[in-house]
């Protein structure tokens, strides 16, 4: 029979060994988390959600403003309505695609990071694995360039609404000065090319323009376009982080494959 003290010491040693093994396992698992890809995925989901959600509602409000104040004839803005409706369907497709693509990139980040750190064997250092990583690098670069264009395009309605809003502020300031008439200050939407030059009335001046700026539709659409533009910018940043993470992982895998090849000889 072993003494009670020796038995207790052995039990404590076994418990400490189990705790140490559990701690090492947790550290090993945390080491395989692709933190860059995780941050990029969260940022990408947030940016795409803001861009798609706010952009969809803002486009609807823009059509309503144009129909009520700048283009009273339906035939004048029929093409614009069809284009905006098509853009809304495109927004649905963008949201669905990037939801799936973000999950795929995050999963690819987990697998590649595990392979780079050799946590679960070298299942990713094969030629097929490197080919898949290279494909994600190329696709992410292409999507990053495309989203730069989307970001620039989303800034156009912000610029247009800002010009209208600033003109309304000028009218308000001129109303305080009785020597300067505010009726001569106008905004012509036709100059932006979104409605034809024969659209009636096509422009708004003075108090009419000020009333447009005070409507809830204008206020909501203006701020929603700003949020949508910010969401597009956040998506661009997320794709840049993806680019850096996927390029780094691919370069390390390429280096490890050459190192393993040279080691065999």
Rounded to whole angstroms, how far apart are CA atoms 111 and 37?
11
pLDDT at position 31, please?
A: 56
pLDDT of 28: 57
d(CA 96, CA 142): 18
pTM: predicted TM-score of the whole model, two decimal places: 0.78
CA-to-CA distance for 5 and 80, rounded, in angstroms?
87
Distances (CA, A) of 199 to 39, 73, 78, 248: 47, 7, 11, 54
List beta partners, residue 186: 205
Cα–Cα distance, 213 to 192 (Å, whole number): 18
**What 3-state class would DSSP assign to 205?**
strand
Determine contact, residues 238/220, Cβ cutoff 8 Å: no
What is the maximum span of the chain, computed from C-alpha positions, in angstroms? 110
Q: What percent of the chain has pLDDT over 70?
A: 72
pLDDT digits 0-9 by tens, 83-93: 888 888 888 88
Give the highest mean pLDDT range of 12-26, 204-218, 248-262: 204-218
pLDDT tens-digit readout, 21-59: 565 655 555 555 667 778 888 888 899 999 998 988 898
Q: Which two tokens stand for residue 118?
A: 């050799």
State the pLDDT at residue 230. 94
**Contact criterion met (CB below 8 Å) for 34 and 245:** yes
């Amino acid at each position: 029979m072993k003494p009670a003290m020796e038995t207790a010491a052995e039990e404590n040693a076994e418990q400490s060994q189990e705790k140490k093994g559990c701690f090492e396992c947790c550290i090993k698992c945390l080491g395989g988390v692709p933190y860059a890809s995780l941050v990029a995925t969260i940022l990408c989901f947030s940016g795409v959600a803001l861009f798609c959600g706010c952009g969809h509602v803002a486009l609807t409000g823009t059509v309503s403003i144009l129909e009520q104040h700048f283009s009273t004839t339906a035939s004048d803005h029929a093409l614009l309505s069809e284009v905006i409706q098509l853009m809304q369907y495109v927004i649905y497709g963008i949201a669905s695609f990037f939801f799936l693509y973000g999950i795929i990139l995050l999963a690819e980040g987990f697998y590649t990071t595990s392979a780079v750190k050799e946590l679960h064997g070298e299942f990713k250092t094969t030629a097929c694995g490197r080919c898949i990583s290279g494909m994600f690098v190329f696709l992410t670069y292409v999507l990053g360039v495309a989203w730069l264009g989307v970001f620039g395009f989303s800034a156009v309605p912000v610029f247009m609404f800002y010009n209208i809003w600033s003109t309304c502020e000028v009218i308000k300031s001129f109303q305080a000065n009785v020597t300067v008439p505010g009726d001569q200050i106008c905004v012509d939407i036709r100059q932006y090319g979104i409605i034809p030059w024969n659209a009636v009335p096509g422009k708004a001046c003075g108090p009419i323009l000020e009333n447009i700026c005070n409507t809830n539709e204008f206020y909501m659409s203006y701020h929603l376009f700003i949020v949508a533009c910010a969401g597009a910018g956040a998506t661009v940043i997320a794709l840049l982080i993806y680019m850096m993470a996927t390029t780094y992982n691919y370069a390390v895998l390429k280096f490890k494959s050459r190192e393993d090849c040279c080691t065999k000889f």
